[in-house]
């Protein structure tokens, strides 16, 4: 969620908690108490979610990275720590300074992408793939691609 939405939810939960306390004192009962505990739970949940988020989105670009690594292992580590939907963006950020990628590194890189994103990744990496790729490795790489894309993608590996 965006920060604006989270802030709005925090504010409305806080206001609901305060109003439910006044409501409880003016009309004692279980409904104001339930409202107070639900709004308190929402506030606590939002603060806990922000502090203990399991993964954060990682974006790499030349402007926000002090020492940008230029090898495939660093790229794979960065892509693995990013959300899967952001991994092509991480690849784009690394691309300008990336050294040649071996077929084994390329295989590992393709494994952590959506299958639908793999042809785009190969298209981006086509100029820095270490060639020639032997027949066995090419078969292994092409098996990671949709059948309909294999002919087009095989040109990048030759």
4: pLDDT strictly greater than 70: yes
Range 105-109 average pLDDT: 84
DSSP string, 51-82: HS-S-------TTT-SS---SHHHHHHHHHHS
Q: Where are the domains of the chain?
A: 3-51, 72-157
Give the containing element (helix H, strand E) for 36: helix 30-51
Do 91 and 124 form a contact (C-beta atoms < 8 A)?
yes
Distance CA 16, CA 54 (A): 28
Structure tokens belonging to residue 91: 């690849």
- Report pLDDT for 52: 56
For 113-133, the pLDDT digits (tens) are: 888 888 888 888 888 888 767
Q: What are phi and psi of 129, to 5 degrees?
A: -75, 130
The tens digit of pLDDT for each residue in 30-88 reads 888 898 898 888 888 877 766 655 544 444 444 444 344 557 788 888 888 888 788 88
- The token duo for 132 is 């020639």
Average pLDDT, integer, range 7-19: 86
- From CA 33, how far away is CA 17, in angstroms rounded? 9
């Amino acid at each position: 969620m965006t920060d604006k939405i989270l802030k709005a939810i925090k504010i409305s939960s806080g206001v609901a908690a305060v109003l439910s306390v006044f409501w409880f004192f003016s009309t004692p009962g279980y409904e104001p108490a339930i409202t107070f505990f639900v709004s308190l739970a929402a506030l606590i949940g939002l603060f806990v979610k922000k502090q203990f988020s399991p993964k954060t989105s990682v974006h790499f670009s030349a402007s926000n990275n002090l020492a940008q690594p230029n090898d495939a292992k660093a790229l794979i580590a960065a892509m693995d720590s990013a959300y899967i939907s952001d991994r092509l963006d991480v690849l784009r950020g690394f691309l300008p300074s990336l050294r040649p990628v071996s077929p084994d590194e390329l295989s590992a890189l393709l494994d952590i992408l959506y299958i639908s994103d793999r042809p785009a990744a190969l298209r981006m990496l086509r100029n820095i793939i270490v060639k020639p790729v032997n027949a066995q490795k090419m078969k292994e790489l092409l098996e990671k691609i949709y059948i309909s894309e294999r002919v087009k993608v095989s040109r990048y590996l030759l």
